[in-house]
Structure 1
Amino acid sequence: MATGIEGDFARIEAALGTPTLKLLDRKSAVIVLPIFAALFPDNAEPMPVERFHTRVDALLDELRASGHQVPSSSGKALAMQWVRERWLYRDPGQGQETYRPTGDAEQAMDYVTRATRTQLNLSLSRIETMRRVVSEAALAAHPDREERLRRLSEEIARLSAEHDRLRAGGELAVASESELIEQFANVLRELDGLPSDFRRVEEAMREMHRSIASRFRQDDSPIGEVLDDYLEQSSQLLTATPEGRAFQGALELLRNPDWLGSLRTDLGTILAHPIAGMMLPDETKQLRGTVAVIRRGIEDVNGQQSRLTTTLTEHILNYDHVRNRELDEVLKGIDASMRTWMQTARPRDHVEVELIPAHLEIDALKLRVFDPDSERPPEKLADTSDDEPEALSLEYIRKQGGPSLEELTRLVDEALANSGVIESAAALFNVQPDELRRPVEVLGLMHLLARLDAAVDASQPEQVDAVRPDGSTRSFLMPATSLQGDTQQQEPAS
């Protein structure tokens, strides 16, 4: 009598062969999962490759120092092993390679989280949820207008009765502590699989991209048919896989800002309740980051779809079927010739093949031919003499130069010779003719007085009125400076 055990055996064997259960079955899972949990907490960004290798080495050293049995391999070698076993994905990225856990690794960590969390296997809310889901599935499987109307009428009557009772002042039912704990546990159970679900959709799209690109390279169809076929497939990436179809159905709901806003408000209400203080820190963090996880999951999936569409489009546009067919024919001809030669060839026989073509026997090769345009004289330049600006005079150029140190030196010497003292350098400057009162002359005068050890009081600024070469004036403040004739120590260089 057939028991169907062969079918169960094949089903369970296939399940045990998935990367998720392989990871949980390995003895090294007690090392791998804690490392993944430490490096990729909830809503964590992908980690650069080199940084990941360094962090894994540091975590292994920490575990080893605590007395745990850890692999002797380096973080780089372990990362390469985890990529081969489909627990880690190495993303080429945009200029920087990164690591992130695959959907199978995310699911394995979800299993561990659920196993270590208090589970309420049988509860009122779970039975009620199960009844509602089964009822909706049955109605979807066998649509019946009358049955649908009957259920809607019952729901409307129930809600209307509750609405009228509360409006009439009826008592508002308050959930007990045990009921709230049960409801919160159900919320966490529903949120556990979100990251791995989004990751699986992204991985399904990436796998479809590899399949399409591989088929494209092997296809000998005309370019028009190839464009029609693969552009259509690239535009339907989300509907070509079960994960993509499921995500496409949920995407419209998740994109609704009102829905996400309502979800954020409800989560805030849960976290504000005193019972939420009894949750573990990881559980509270999971609730707070739910909306961010959903938003990031949508962005990652849409970004992957955009990258795949761009890659496929560029690959199709740049793929040269004629050239590749010619290369394929040449390779096939070489293969046929090799097979013919191998029928008569003996061991150690070889064929002389010239890898570089022989030189051409040409005495001289003309590199340039006569071009009449190169012998043609250039066109005459346009006469712009009428637009020529006036030439600058030597006096104008001199006025734009640096300070007149010779004239300023003579001015200082005469002032000291006449009165033996310069009480105010500003006063001396302000009585000079316009050509010695340019703004740059202020710096020249201060330079000379500093070389003569003049007394400078920066706390008492004095005003000097300078005259620009165009006749405009500008006032400056310079430190109060005075000079006694007998303090002159050296003759300044002219």
Structure 2
Amino acid sequence: MLDLLHRRYAPLVVSLLSLVFTPERSTVPVAEAHTEIGDALDQLRAQGYELNADGTRAIPLGSARELCRQWSDVGWLKRQIVDGDIEVYQLSAHAVGALEVAGRAGGTRARVSESRVRTLLDAVEQLAQDSDPDVLVRMSRLDAQIRRLQDELARIQRTGEVDEVDDEVLLEEAENVLHLVRELPADFARVAESIRAMQRDVVTALRQDERPSGDVLREYLERGEQVMNATPEGRAFAGALRLIGDPERIDELSLQLDTVLRHRFTGRLPGQQRTELRDVGRRIEQGVAEVIKAQRQASHVITTQVRNHDPLRDRQVDELLREVMVSFQRWMPTTRRGEGVAPVRRLPVAEIAHLRQSTNDLTPPQPPVPLHVLDDDPDAGLEDGAREWGGPHYAELTEHLSSFAAGADSADLAEVFRGAPEPIRRPVDLLGLLEIAHRNGMAETDQIAFVEAVRPDGSRRRFAFGGVTVRTKEGTDD
């Protein structure tokens, strides 16, 4: 963190990153970050801030894309893939700490106050209570605390008044709260990065295949349990997680913050500090969500690696990449711009079986079996009544249409169907009659026709369709 703050263009980087990354916007798509940073640099150059008073550059050369790449190389930014295919920038834990230090340096100056001393004393007292196993000492402390609270309750009941706290003291306490809150984002970011570091170590160990996968995963689970207890930021996250897991504590925190913000002393706080007080709960929730997201992503990556782990293939890829890097290290120091590049001679060979060199003869070796010739009677072999449930009786329908028209050039199809005998007045025969009408030539009318069809089992079905006039003499298809 201090190394980042001591770099040449650190003031510019801190300003631009504070502008792009906010508590509500912890990750920014790469394209949007390049656009916003490029616009900010253009505005600075247009206002004449490109050079310092001593003639040195205040804004580095290069485009926003190049600057973001440099910041990613030195540790300001981290690039990652979210939602499958979206590449985003995220501040590293060191960058979050650097921005917090810069924010505190530019804001209200930290000072020794009653609130800070009381916080320190309370922490020391709690530490002493937790480290002292003496039961009698603990009981005496609890008795003293109970008597003190009972005396205060009796005084309030007797006088009906609460001692008011001076506004200066309240301001000091509010500043102390904000000071504590500003430490949380960096702690959460460090926990998330420690989880990502564990993920990289586990994937590397699985790829090297030097130990059984079960031992590697067991070590990962043990480190995952220790990360919440071995570091201060891990303990902070564990405490915040217990807070988030208790809805009553969250509601109580919101009510307490509303009470503070309604007090008159908050009118003396700058608007930014009032906003920070109001967003204390939300910032804790965002930090916890970031850590949980890192845990979920690490589990997904490790699970995918275990499922798709191929030691031989991974070893071949590692050897190839190592050879390429060694070749680059030998080639770069001795070459000049525009010089030709010798191609890499060794590449993995595709493992392809023997390819077919000739095609088979598509002609079958012998002719197909002759088709079976049916009897003259098409209904032979059918069960009794099966033909009645079959398709339309085209011959009977054509004969009925000719006899119904009695020499007329056209006839109403609905009337023709109504006049048909029941064996050819089935629902499927209505479709057959429409097909005959389409083949002979028909004309649609504006009327709606209704007919009643009779199934072979005697049930009846009513149909409605657009009126059709059919030619009684057979024509040709269109």
TM over 0.5: yes
CA distance in 1, matches of 2:205, 2:263: 56
Alignment CA distance shift 1:436-1:239 (3 Å): closer
Residue among 195, 211, 231 paired with 1:242: 231
Cα separation, 1, equivalents of 2:462 and 2:203:
76
1:368-383 map, 5 Å: none
Matched with 1:85 is 74
Counterparts of 1:197 and 1:172 in 2: how far apart (Å)?
38
**1:194 aligns with one of 184, 206, 228:** 184
Query: Offset of 1:248 from its aligned partner?
Result: 6.9
**Quick one: distance in 1 between partners of 2:24 and 2:126?**
32
Alignment correspondent of 1:478: 465
1:94-493 counterparts in 2 under 5 A? Answer: 95-96=84-85, 97-119=87-109, 121=111, 123-137=113-127, 151-168=141-158, 170-173=160-163, 180-207=170-197, 230=219, 234=223, 236-238=225-227, 241-243=230-232, 246-247=235-236, 250=239, 253-254=242-243, 256-257=245-246, 258-271=248-261, 282-283=272-273, 286-302=276-292, 304-305=294-295, 401=391, 407=397, 411=401, 414-415=404-405, 426=414, 429-434=417-422, 435-438=424-427, 441=430, 445=434, 448=437, 452-457=442-447, 461-468=448-455, 471-479=458-466, 481=467, 493=476
Cα distance in 2, alignment partners of residues 455 and 142 from structure 1: 101
User: Are the equivalent residues in 2 in contact too, given 1:404–1:436 (CA < 8 A)?
Assistant: no
CA drift at 1:102: 0.9
- Supply the distance in 2 between the matched residues of 1:68 and 1:413 (Cα, whole angstroms): 102
Measured against aligned partners, the alpha-carbon deviations of 1:358-385 in whole angstroms (never above 9, x if no partner) come to xxxxxxxxxxxxxxxxxxxxxxxxxxxx
* 1:74 Cα deviation from its structure 2 partner: 2.9
What's the CA shift string for 1:148-184, capped at 9, x where partnerless? Answer: 5554444322221222333456124455665555444
CA-to-aligned-CA distance 1:273-332 (integer Å, 9 cap, x gap): 6766776665555445443433343344355456667877967x97979x99xx99xxxx
Percent of counterpart pairs with the same letter?
Answer: 26
Deviation, 1:199, is 0.8
Offset, 1:196? 1.0
Unaligned runs of 5+ in 1: 1-19, 329-354, 357-389
Which position in structure 2 is the counterpart of 1:23? 4
Q: Secondary structure at the match of 2:462?
A: strand
Q: In 2, distance between residues paired with 1:85 and 1:192?
A: 24
Partner of 2:62: 73
8 A Cα contact 1:88 1:100, kept in partner: yes
Q: CA deviation at 1:456?
A: 0.4
What do you get for the CA RMSD once the two structures are aligned? 5.4
CA distance in 1, matches of 2:403, 2:47: 87
Aligned equivalents of 1:409 and 1:199: distance in 2? Answer: 89
**Cα gap change, 1:209/1:448 in structure 2, threshold over 3 Å: closer, same or farther?**
closer
Asked if 2 retains the 8 angstrom alpha-carbon contact of 1:238 and 1:245, the reply is yes
- For the residues of structure 2 that align with 1:469 and 1:63, how far apart are their CA atoms? 90
Deviation at 1:57, TM superposition (A): 3.7
Cα distance in 2 between the residues matched to 1:402 and 1:414 = 18
Cross-structure match for 2:354: none
**Cα distance between partner residues in 2 of 1:447 and 1:29:** 88
CA 1:433–1:88 in 2, change beyond 3 Å: closer, same or farther?
A: same
Unaligned runs of 5+ in 2: 51-58, 320-345, 348-379
The one-character-per-residue Cα deviations of 1:395-447 (angstroms, maximum 9, x if unpaired) are 967965579599479738955966x996x764554343342452572696499
Q: C-alpha separation between the residues in 1 aligned to 2:406 and 2:14? A: 91
Would the aligned equivalents of 2:187 and 2:234 in 1 still touch at CA under 8 Å? no
Question: SS where residue 200 of structure 1 aligns?
Answer: helix
Change (3 A) 1:120 1:438: same
In 1, the alpha carbon distance for the partners of 2:429 and 2:271 equals 71
The 3 A distance-change label for structure 1 pair 462 and 209 is closer
CA contact (8 A) 2:266 2:274 kept: yes
2:54 is matched with none
Pair 1:58–1:237, CA change in 2 (3 A): farther
Q: CA deviation at 1:197?
A: 0.8
- Aligned-partner SS, 1:298: helix
Partner of 2:13: 32
Taking a change above 3 Å as real, the CA distance of residues 209 and 399 of structure 1, as seen in their structure-2 partners, is closer
Residue pairs, 1:36-55, within 5 angstroms: 36-55=17-36
Query: Structure 1, residues 225-269: CA drift from partner, whole Å, max 9, x if none?
Result: 976994685355416843465347636743541433432343344
Q: Deviations over 1:87-121 (max 9, x none)?
A: 11223567444321011111222223334444573
Secondary structure of the residue that 2:227 maps to in structure 1? helix
Change (3 A) 1:167 1:445: farther
Q: Deviations over 1:67-86 (max 9, x none)?
A: 55344423332222112211
